[in-house]
A and B are shown apart, each in its own frame.
Chain A
């Protein structure tokens, strides 16, 4: 034993080494819930790898995944951005009604899943930048400008990323609807339909097939109307809510048209 109070190897015999680890000031471990011993990292100051022998150490774990699914689907002259509102933490649900959506301007809406703390900070900083831009340029930020700004902001945190999975949707200066998908450090791409978050693998293939008509060789591509798009999104969320434990409760849908942003909400299952 040393000054840090690390475990002696004999602790592994009791089978519950985690119970003896002093919980020093640290963030929650990802996916942490009672009784599960974390796997210790392989390197670092005074740490030995496996939980079955040698000392364990908690390190600064700044991230947690609060789950949630967000998506953006663009049509010819509209865009729909939607997200669920469940806040998950391990196997718990601390809140059923958390908004993941930021209305940036009348034509641009952002939705972010991932860690709620990082999402809130990112949205706060974005709001400040939007106000600053509006005051300097006497006009609202356009969709293309906002998409590039978000990418740059995410990249300035390249070495300590915002744990957020963003989708941006809106209407550009020409009146066309477009969506942008981002990875955590700002790699972005302009697309017609994108989904991010814990339900991504469930919903994205459906969007690829039904909106972008991928893998439908020879079938004529059909532009969906706003109502048809919203129907599809409702179906996507109800289905994802059944198969993903972190998606559920309520869905917030923002419809962006040349007349502005209209928000509607519907309820998923609370289980």
Chain B
């Protein structure tokens, strides 16, 4: 067999191969880059069936990642993620880097299976580099996301779990694509992926606008992930935020979610204090009106309520009190 350095990395894709003792020597099997399939009738079901009768403690659990989001706006793309990897009930890690730096101008996020995401996005980086070397220009974001989508489509049904967003700024501007292990590939301006995505969407949709400033966008992204970590058991840890600009991506911040929790609490308190101050001013204004109207009027209390409601602009003032 060939004794020189292996040039496997120049081949475009990882092939699936049936592991067959007669065909491959142990050295070849251990050193090949082909992805091995078990030699059973239905390899897609094999892993699930292997643990079907097993006790919970003996089952294989793979690291799963959870809340991620990204959106495009006038200043580029903001991506924010949490950092918890759960393996069944156990927290495998609280410091996972779920934003994968594919190359200096392309980012990918990780949700679903951690090994699946990191392996295939690293493979995507390899193929983007090959494209760049062969074509003397950078690959577009659309092409990169399509490479990934087509790769995982070849493993469809075999149990890969991957929900990722590929984002970057190429010659035609900032682009964001969602790619998952089912083969879905969607272009869009706003995505959130993972078990905590519903919570993140709520906050993100409420606060998003295309014309946001960069600081507001970062603040919104951070808060959206925070709310997801707060309510989703499988999300937590540190909130990482990246910004994709024309020159490439830059890491903005990495804050423990409890720090963001204190910030949100302080902001809410400030808003509540301000509202109370307004209400206090309105109430004292309304009391003066009622006192002038009638001293022992049984509907004075009602008048006060209505008057203060009027000062808030909700309810028209009563025509006259009886």
A and B form one complex: yes
Q: How far is the CA of A15 from the CA of B203 in the complex (A)?
A: 55
Q: What residues of A have a CB within 8 angstroms of the CB of B60 in the complex?
A: 63, 161, 163, 184
Q: Which residues 112-141 in B have Cβ within 8 Å of A in the complex?
A: 113-116, 118-119
B87 and A61 form a contact (CB under 8 A) = no
Taken together as a complex, chains A and B put the C-alpha atoms of A161 and B35 apart, in Å, by: 11
The answer to whether A183 touches B47 (Cβ under 8 A) is no
Known contacts A60-B40, A156-B35; decide if A183 and B53 are in contact (CB<8 Å).
Answer: no
B93 near A: Cβ within 8 Å? yes
A133 to chain B, nearest CB (A): 10
Count of A interface residues, CB-CB < 8 Å:
48
Q: Which residues of B contact A (CB under 8 A)?
A: 5, 19, 26-27, 29-38, 40, 43, 45-47, 49-55, 57-58, 60-63, 85, 87, 90, 92-97, 113-116, 118-119, 158-160
Q: Which listed residue (A60, A124, A154, A181) contacts B93, Cβ 8 A?
A: A181
A95 at the binding interface (Cβ < 8 Å): no
Q: Given A31-B57, A185-B115, are A152 and B33 also a contact pair (CB < 8 Å)? A: yes
**Contact among A43, A126, A183, A200 for B115, CB-based, below 8 A:** A183
| CA of A63 to CA of B54, assembled, Å | 10
Q: Which of B26, B90, B97, B118 contacts A201 (CB 8 A)?
A: B90
Binds B, one of A70-78, A96-104, A186-194, A252-260: A186-194
List the 6 shortest-distance A-B pairs measured between CB atoms, nearest first: A41-B52, A125-B30, A187-B115, A30-B58, A187-B114, A160-B38
Closest to B33 in A: A156
The answer to whether A29 and B63 have CB atoms under 8 Å apart is no
Question: Is the beta-carbon distance between B58 and A65 smaller than 8 angstroms?
Answer: yes
User: Which partner residue on chain B sits nearest A131 by CB separation?
Assistant: B27
Q: 8 Å CB contacts to B: which residues of A187-211?
A: 187-189, 191, 200-201
* Residues of chain B with a CB closer than 8 A to A163's CB: 60
A30-B58, A31-B58 given as contacts; is B119 within 8 A of A155 (CB)?
A: yes
- A129 contacts B31, C-beta separation under 8 Å: yes
Whether A159 sits at the interface, judged by CB under 8 Å, is: yes
- Inter-chain contact B37/A156, CB cutoff 8 Å: no
Main DSSP-derived SS at the A contact region:
loop
Could you tell me which residues of chain A, from 34 to 90, have a CB within 8 Å of some CB in chain B?
Answer: 38-44, 59-65
**B-side contacts of A59, CB under 8 Å:** 49, 52-53
Contacts of B37 in A (CB 8 A): 159-160
- Of all chain B residues, the one with the shortest Cβ separation from A45 is B41
Additional A-B contact list (10), CB under 8 Å, known A184-B60, A185-B115: A61-B53, A61-B54, A63-B60, A124-B30, A151-B115, A187-B62, A187-B63, A188-B118, A189-B97, A200-B90
A263 at the interface (CB under 8 A from B): no
How far does the Cβ of A127 sit from chain B's closest Cβ, in whole Å? 9
Given contacts A125-B30, A200-B90, contact A160 B47 (CB under 8 A): yes
* Residue contact B119 to A41, C-beta cutoff 8 Å: no
A152-B90 CB under 8 A given contacts A30-B55, A31-B57, A41-B52 = no
